[in-house]
Structure 1
Amino acid sequence: MGAYYSTLSGWIIPVTRAMKALDIDPNETLEKFNIDPADVNDPEGRICVVSLGNLFEYCNKVVDDREFNIEVARHFHPSALHALGYAIQSAFSLQEALERVSKYKRVVSNCSNMETYEDGDELIVEFVVYRYPDSGRQVLSPDLIESFLATLVQVARDMVGGNLEPLKVQLSTPSPRENSEAVASFFNCPVQYGCERNAIVLDLAACKERCLGNNPVMNQIHMEMLNQFMSRVDKTNLSYLIENKIIEELPMGAPSQSDVAKHLGFSLRNLQRKLSEQGTCYKDILDATRKRLTLSYIKQPHLSISEISYLVGFSNVANFNRAFKRWLGTAPGEYRQSYLSENTISEPDHSAQASR
């Protein structure tokens, strides 16, 4: 059963770098746990999380203090996540990046889910690890859970220039027998074990600020790459397939649900039923796709409002303006002026809550 649960082979990169930094022989160690370093050359390659968890346990015994968990996080780079990693780097804000990871978490592994949501003045990033049905044991080992949360914190710090500390970190795993100075020093905030959830709690206002690496043009390109990637690796999720078809057709007008169903080889009724089973509908996917593209286009000054209206499939600017006001609560011209003057308006993205 363990082999069923896997993660992207890109994790081999930070794992190998961490081993080198801690004077652990990478090739010998990876071979010991049946992990082929060459798998990293396959962008869609997978590695067994049972093997990965055993490797982490071994390396932590070699160096003590659970330092290996933290060293992997320190050596992580978003490019290890391929299309998702690039989409994270070009996101407008840290909140948008974390919500993006939550929405596309399946590209990383099939071992867990992730939810990013607001709670008062806090942003909660909750990591929901699946359990084996027979034993109830979490699919991911305590080392992997701790290291993944540390990796999210490292990514967050890199995106905002390093000046970010979590308010607290919560883990569902039992409290370790010995405190880890490496873990405490890295997180630099209260770390609580034996909790009901695995979560990172962040300051919401800081997460809404524009990130240094934000690039609207590249963001749009990366999101298109990500959706194409997801349509290949997760063929059970129709949302990705439908969104790709919508993006392809929008400049010629929004495609009808019947046309999309025909393109995918479904009857209209069958497509509606499958989407309902996934907790969504065609109208919501179309609206969310238009909104996401619009928020990318509106930040590109060379595109006029009328051009944006055309690109996202509206027959006239008046209809586009009404939709924009519904999405953001303001007119597109006002939003653009505010964005360009760097007095940005925070756009609420409810995709994470909708998937909960």
Structure 2
Amino acid sequence: MHLTKSISATKISSFLSNLNCYGISTKDVIKNADVNPLILSSPDNRLSSLETQKIINSAVRLTKDNNLGLHQGEHLSKGFSNILGYVLMNCSTLNECWTKYCIYEKIIDSTSISDFKIMDNYAVLSNVTINNELEDNRHFSEFKISGMLSYIKLLSNEALKLHEVHFSHSKPNNTSEYKRIFQCKVLFEKSTNALIFDSDQLNISVIEPNKKLLLLFEKNAQEILEGFDNNNNNNNNNNTYSNMVTEILFEELRKGNLPSIENVAKKLLLSIRSLQLYLQKEDTSYIKLLKETRKSMAKKYLSDINISLDEITYVLGFSEPSAFHRAFKSWTGITPAQFRKSVLNH
């Protein structure tokens, strides 16, 4: 299974916008980065993580701004000029916007995973960079988080009142710009990059939503996403999300690991919410697939007399043999010992 990690030209163009205030141009940055000079010539172009890394580092060198990611996100003045931006602009509320963003994020960026959840009456809008070349680039992370805040204001004409902001990178020597931009407590070396605020603000309305346009743009977004998935899966018709999840479950269980839905979603470059929606469309769920995978593996292992019940219990992630015994009986109507006996008698 191979999913290409790339970023749309429109996202990188937004990072490079307004560089004239530093006395440099986008062309200067691209030339200094030593990448294809036509790389941003079309909004349909996709950049590799290495190309993105080179461009961001080039921009930091030329501007000599050690907080460039923060500043470029803060001064984001327009949305992404592609189908995802059109989807978000026609959502009704910020809640709906972020739900759709998590589903269609790969259209603009498959190097990271965004998600949101409610915890203790706070909304947590999070982003995790999963690409090795970009995960330690704090300018990339800071652009996404400060840009997220700016984009919310563009969509709703209202500024979020933040409770906390989290970054996964280490704390810089000078944090004054973080305090100025976010006006709240900023914490570093956290598990994700995130905006945290009162969950009531998810009900903030988008300025001019249009449900008919939303349906149209979302249909187009789904087609684009399906096209990405088909290409990434080498046009293998067996690569439904159900099959891909099952494949991961088999791989992890064979190692003695019991993967969570969060772990599986991360391997597929999806948010948990997106994976759940895809599986729902295929009339299944993570819990159902985990159960079927364990059941299939249990039957296979029980057919081999050389594998003990204790070993099977461990590999399938059960806490003790009695837990495996109960689960297997609920799946098949008979105990593991009875199943093994019936197989060996044939």
Q: Distance in 2 between matches of 1:190 and 1:68?
A: 20
1:33 lines up with 2:33 in the alignment: yes
Q: Distance in 2 between matches of 1:8 and 1:275?
A: 25
Cα drift, residue 97 of structure 1: 0.8
Question: Which whole-Å deviations, capped at 9, do the CAs of 1:151-200 have from their partners, x for residues lacking one?
Answer: 1111111122133232211011001122242x332222222112222211
Q: Deviations over 1:91-122 (max 9, x none)?
A: 11111111211122222222221111111321
Moved more, 216-225 or 64-73: 64-73
Aligned partner of 2:151 among 143, 150, 155? 155
> Cα distance 1:109–1:71, how it changes in 2: closer, same or farther (>3 A)?
same
Helix, strand or coil at the partner of 2:114: strand
1:250-269 pair list within 5 angstroms: none
1:140: how far off?
Answer: 5.0
Q: TM-score scaled to structure 2, two decimals? A: 0.63
Q: Judging changes above 3 Å, is the alpha-carbon distance between structure 1 residues 166 and 282 closer, same or farther for their aligned structure 2 residues?
A: closer
Q: 2:190 aligns with which of 192, 195, 198?
A: 195
Q: Which residue of 1 aligns with 2:15?
A: 15
The equivalent residue for 1:232 is 227
2:76 aligned partner: 75
Q: Distance in 2 between matches of 1:180 and 1:61?
A: 21
Q: For the residues of structure 2 that align with 1:272 and 1:61, how far apart are their CA atoms?
A: 42
Distance 1:281 1:49 in 2: 27
Q: CA deviation at 1:86?
A: 0.9
What residue is the counterpart of 1:129 in the other structure?
A: 129
1:56 is the counterpart of 2:56: yes
Count the aligned residue pairs. 252
AA in 2 matched with 1:143: H
**Residue identity in the other structure for 2:186:** V
The alpha-carbon distance between structure 1 residues 193 and 223, as it changes in their structure 2 partners (threshold 3 A), is same
The aligned residue for residue 143 of structure 1 is: 139
- 2:215 pairs with one of 201, 210, 220: 220
Gaps of 5+ in 2: 247-267, 269-274, 285-346
SS in 1 for 2:80: helix
What is the CA–CA distance in structure 2 between the aligned matches of 1:216 and 1:52, rounded to whole Å?
Answer: 35
Sort the Cα spacing of 1:171 and 1:16 in 2 relative to 1 into closer, same or farther, 3 A: closer
Which of the residues 161, 166, 180 maps onto 1:165? Answer: 161
Rounded to whole Å, the distance in 2 between the matches of 1:184 and 1:281 is 37
Native 8 Å contact 1:170 1:195 kept in 2: yes
**RMSD, aligned CA:** 3.2
Query: What is the CA–CA distance in structure 2 between the aligned matches of 1:130 and 1:283, rounded to whole Å?
Result: 22
1:50-106 C-alpha deviation (Å, 9 max, x unpaired): 3333433343344455342133222353234x1111111111111111121112222
Q: Structure 1 length normalisation: TM-score? A: 0.62
For 1:88-127, list aligned pairs within 5 A.
88-127=88-127
Deviations 1:228-259 (A, max 9, x none): 11122222789xxxxxxxxxxxxxxxxxxxxx
Q: Which residue of 2 aligns with 1:206?
A: 201
Name the CA distance, whole Å, in 1 between partners of 2:179 and 2:231.
40
Aligned to 1:309: none
Q: Per-residue CA shift, 1:275-306, capped at 9, x if unaligned?
A: 76386698821789xxxxxxxxxxxxxxxxxx
SS at match of 1:235: helix
Shift in Å, 1:44: 3.0
Q: How far, CA to CA, are the matches of 2:214 and 2:15 in structure 1?
A: 27
What is the letter of the counterpart of residue 25 of structure 1? S
What's the % identity of the aligned pairs?
A: 13
